Structure 1
């Protein structure tokens, strides 16, 4: 069973209705249009992600590898009951969602996207990533090559002022991130609604395997003390020369 235009329409309508009574009345539509296609896609991607890392968890159930459509809004300003985005995620321990890197896929009303990265990388992880970049670690070079060839966007909030102004722009694009993920936005709805979707996403995951290995290497390094970049010293002319 594939996603369809009705899948996206249901997610939008459910968010706009913002009503548990309405959702309960249309729960069977949710199951057929949204949940079942996501379950099948998650299961289809399982062999690929397990081949990349056998420790990744593949559990095609809602609340496990698959997101819930009901929002937990207890600690948010937005009190909407339902989201219009659904996703599946593959990581080593779901309890550590803000910890280990993950592969993911998600659908939105205007597109779908997928990739590999962190929801929120820890400070020690980012320090290890920067250290590997600065010394041109071979694992980083393989990850950079995969990023360039795969057509993924490097995402994640950046510091407003670069901490590494002397580094080449390409490296600063990595070094100045507070967190990091590699994402591909897709607007091909014919692909989204077809049986080719799982193969397409699986191929993208395989392209990102070197990036995932780079992240795991950073995780394995443990705490790293970052060297603070030295400020550039501008020679001053003697006073008598002014």
Structure 2
């Protein structure tokens, strides 16, 4: 059961940020496992198990990131991440970054959770716009639910050249290259408490209808044909 993170968790994240090298990491690996990686796995497992017990989302799995960066993609950075995340997603043949995922992320400055795409494909967003065009009402109901709450906010990069024009509730969504519904926090006492599990579950319950909507876009026809 998740018992919370600790001040040692935050200390380790800052430590690896400023000492991103093998010798420092190996000397502090026990701290990494005890205070960072293992609590992250415990949090992910408890949230996932309770979420699935309540909702039985078909095919949903849980993945926890590792601290090791891909050696082929260091680009001048050190070999370790100074942050970790876990996600709940449906595996497909497509890269994970192109699918909608629930996530939780912890970094030295704070933590975040939500739902969205790390890198939606142009085809996915074209299907999204096409569905908004032919059936705006279904997603308007979701957009209204987002407007009525103050936990999550819509984030994401817009296309430099708008793909179209739509008014009202759907306007902030229509010309996104990708988007997320995100809640950000600074480091706070909730991280050190089991109450974090309930906070995340409440958020993911709210986000589930968005996940279900976005997960069905894959089966839509290619509107560019």
When normalised by structure 1's length, the TM-score is 0.83
Report the Cα offset of residue 52 of structure 1: 5.5
Among 40, 54, 58, the alignment partner of 2:58 is: 54
How many pairs are equivalent? 219
Could you tell me how far apart the structure 1 residues matched to 2:74 and 2:87 are? 22
Pick aligned residue for 2:9 from 7, 10, 13: 7
1:137: how far off? Answer: 4.0
1:119 aligns with 2:123: no
Q: Distance in 2 between matches of 1:197 and 1:70?
A: 26
* 1:91 alignment counterpart: 89
Instruction: Give the C-alpha shift of residue 54 in structure 1.
Output: 2.7
CA contact (8 A) 2:43 2:197 kept: yes
| Cα distance change of structure 1 residues 78 and 7 upon mapping to structure 2, 3 Å threshold | same
Correspondence 1:74 to 2:78 = no
* Cα 1:188/1:94, change in 2 over 3 Å: farther
Aligned to 1:236: none
TM-superposed CA distance for 1:173, in Å, is 1.4
Aligned to 1:232: none
**Quick one: distance in 1 between partners of 2:168 and 2:72?**
41
**2:132–2:139 CA contact under 8 A, matched in 1:** yes
2:27 match:
25
C-alpha separation in 2, matches of 1:48 and 1:78? 40
Q: Calculate the aligned-residue CA RMSD, in Å.
A: 2.0
For residue 56 of structure 1, report the CA deviation from its aligned partner. 0.8
**CA offset at residue 170 of structure 1?**
4.0
Which structure has the larger Rg over C-alpha atoms? Answer: 1
Aligned to 1:106: 105
Shift of 1:160: 2.1
SS in structure 1 at match of 2:111: strand
Matching of residue 157 in structure 1 with residue 157 in structure 2: yes
CA change 1:219–1:164 in 2 (3 A) is same
Taking a change above 3 Å as real, the CA distance of residues 138 and 55 of structure 1, as seen in their structure-2 partners, is farther
Contact 2:159 2:176 survives alignment (8 Å): yes
Distance 2:130 2:27 in 1: 54
The equivalences for 1:129-140 within 5 A come to 129-140=128-139
Q: Which runs of 5+ in 2 are unaligned?
A: none
Q: Unmatched 5+ residue regions in structure 1?
A: 59-64, 227-242
- Cα deviation digits, residues 160-210 of structure 1 (max 9, x gap): 233334x22642310110112111112261111111001101110000011
Deviates more, 1:135-144 or 1:198-207: 135-144
Contact 1:15–1:81 at 8 Å: present in 2 too? Answer: no
The alpha-carbon deviation at position 125 of structure 1 amounts to 1.3
Whole-Å Cα distance in 2 between the matches of residues 56 and 149 of structure 1? 28
SS at match of 2:216: helix
Distance 1:211 1:25 in 2: 43
Cα distance, 1:150 vs structure 2: 3.9
